[in-house]
Amino acid sequence: MDYQDTLDWLFAQLPMFSRTGAAAYKPGLQTSLDLDSYFRHPHKSFKSIHVGGTNGKGSTSHMLAAILQSQGYRVALYTSPHLVDFRERIRINGEMIPKDAVVDFVERFRQSNYPGHPSFFELTMMMAFDWFASQRVDYAVIEVGMGGRLDSTNIITPELAVITNISKDHTQFLGSTLPEIAREKAGIIKTGIPCVVGEAEGEVREVFEEKASETGATVLFAQDFMPLQRCVPAPAGGLDCSSPLCGDFHCQLGGDYQKKNVNTVLAAICELRRIGIEIDDRAIREGMDRVCELTGLAGRWMKVADSPLTICDTGHNEAGLRYTMEQLDRTAKQRGGRKHIVIGFVADKAIDDIIGLLPRDAEYYLTRASIPRALPEDKLQEKFRAHGVEASAYPTPKAAAAAARSQAADNDIIYIGGSTFIVADYLQ
């Protein structure tokens, strides 16, 4: 098989949660443990950092990888889902896994006598670990797929666990309350392994404290430690920051929500230094300043046009969208223009709750992504109307964005988001 045949086989033969939803969700570690044994435990060949949480785990993973890379380490990065190219999930020093390596791994798997039936996520995770081991990486930053306790990636024993925050998402799998979700996320905390938690309050904080006590792990709450002293929007984009760890620095990532992620990353760097991993101040500054170009990160408050200003953002749940809508409103007021929102969702989101927090003084262009999980644009239009919001509907994100551009003035702002897959379809 060539590369395209291999991708077609992966997408057709293996259930993929990001495309099909609940039918592809397979909790538990047994298949991952079996695959790991079959491929001779590749994850034991490198040190790792495990990053979970509800929002921000992708950005946090990329920042940590960029800083370690700037220190001179050979750094692997495993994240999901991808935006445009499947190989975005598996990178070393920012370079995507080669196409022939994807083909080789799948061929080895298909020709083996492996008796199980892994999911898309389980097999691609093992592909990543196998590639990282063969390329002799120093560190791998591994992003949790969903939850933590039963997530496929939880077979690793990392140097550090990072949990960004807890909010409601995937409630049909992780629990309906924040403490229930926190218990699933806390499952990546392992015996004697330090953990950094970005933010947690009340019962959620107690969950992490109890888990740390049970496992003999140390837990550092970044919100208490506050290594970030200043973080403001930079005139040319991104954030201008200051920390006693490394002085003044610029973070290439924009978006109000990144401030808490930056604070979490700095707390994680403190813990990595504490356990003996060399990371100098220069590496922190360089990694933050060049995170997108070093790691290939895209889709986080990402400017794709200037006139009118057009922003793509992959935030897709209530907590994440609340931050982006606040920033969108502030940016529109600064520009003296109107807001045009191109938006769509997957069908299993709490869409009524999300519509309730969207601004009423905006023009809406509803659409759907090209995946089975996507909520059809006409169904989404009905939900908007039920909330008293009139909106036009379009069959594709590109068509919706084109309609927004045709109606927007130069000082207006166009926002494209609601789902990773809306952004992906627009960028393709």
Do 38 and 151 lie in one domain? The reply is yes
Secondary element (H or E) of residue 47: strand 47-52
Q: Is 335 found in the same domain as 280?
A: no
Alpha helices in 26-152 (DSSP H): 30-38, 57-70, 99-111, 120-134
Q: Which two tokens stand for residue 235?
A: 């005139």
| Rounded-to-integer distance, Cα 273 and Cα 255, Å | 27
- Please check whether residue 369 is in contact with residue 419, taking contact to mean a CB–CB distance below 8 angstroms: yes
The DSSP line for 147-193 is: SSTT-GGGG---SEEEE------SHHHH-SSHHHHHHHHGGG--TT-
Report residue 337: phi and psi, to 5°. Answer: -125, -175
Question: 397 CB contacts (<8 Å, ≥6 apart)?
Answer: 342, 344, 367, 369, 416, 422, 423, 425, 426
**DSSP letter assigned to residue 298:** -
Which tokens sit at 201?
């309050």
- Number of residues that make up the chain: 428
Same domain, 261 and 318: no
Query: Does 252 share its domain with 386?
Result: no
Domain that holds residue 408: 302-427
**β-bridge mates for residue 363, sequence order:** 340
- 81 preceded by cis ω (within 30°)? yes
Are 129 and 155 part of one and the same domain?
yes
Q: How far apart are CA 287 and CA 65, in angstroms?
A: 8
The verdict on 143 and 289 lying in the same domain is yes
Tokens 């590749």 sit at which residue? 42
The amino acid that residue 237 corresponds to is: G
Which stretches in the chain have pLDDT values below 50? 17-24, 170
d(CA 163, CA 241): 22
User: Among residues 272, 295, 318, which one ends one of the domains?
Assistant: 295
What do you get for the CA distance between the two ends of the chain, in Å? 24
Which residue spans within 336-376 are E strands per DSSP?
A: 339-343, 362-366
What tokens appear for 395 in the block?
């069959």
Together in a domain, 102 and 151: yes
Quote the pTM value: 0.91
Mean pLDDT over all residues of the chain? Answer: 92
Q: Cβ(365)–Cβ(358) under 8 Å?
A: no
Strands 247-251 and 239-243: antiparallel
Same-domain check for residues 77 and 145: yes
Residues 152 and 288 in one domain: yes
- Residue 253: give its domain's CATH number: 3.40.1190.10
Measured distance CA(244)–CA(323) in Å, rounded: 26
Closest alpha carbon to 222 in 69, 65, 76, 56 = 56
325 and 209 assigned to the same domain: no
In this structure, what CATH number is given to the domain that contains residue 341? Answer: 3.90.190.20
Q: Are 285 and 392 in a shared domain?
A: no
Q: Please give the pLDDT value at position 377.
A: 96
Same domain, 251 and 359: no
CA-CA distance, 251 to 407, in Å (whole number)? 33
Query: Quick one: DSSP state of residue 375?
Result: P
Q: Which of 146, 143, 179 is nearest to 162 (CA)?
A: 143
Domain boundary among 226, 261, 295: 295
The count of structural domains within the chain is: 2
Q: One-letter amino acid identity for 87?
A: R
Q: What are residue 392's DSSP bridge partners?
A: 365
| Contact status, residue 204 vs residue 167, Cβ threshold 8 Å | no
Task: Name the domain boundary from 247, 267, 295.
Answer: 295
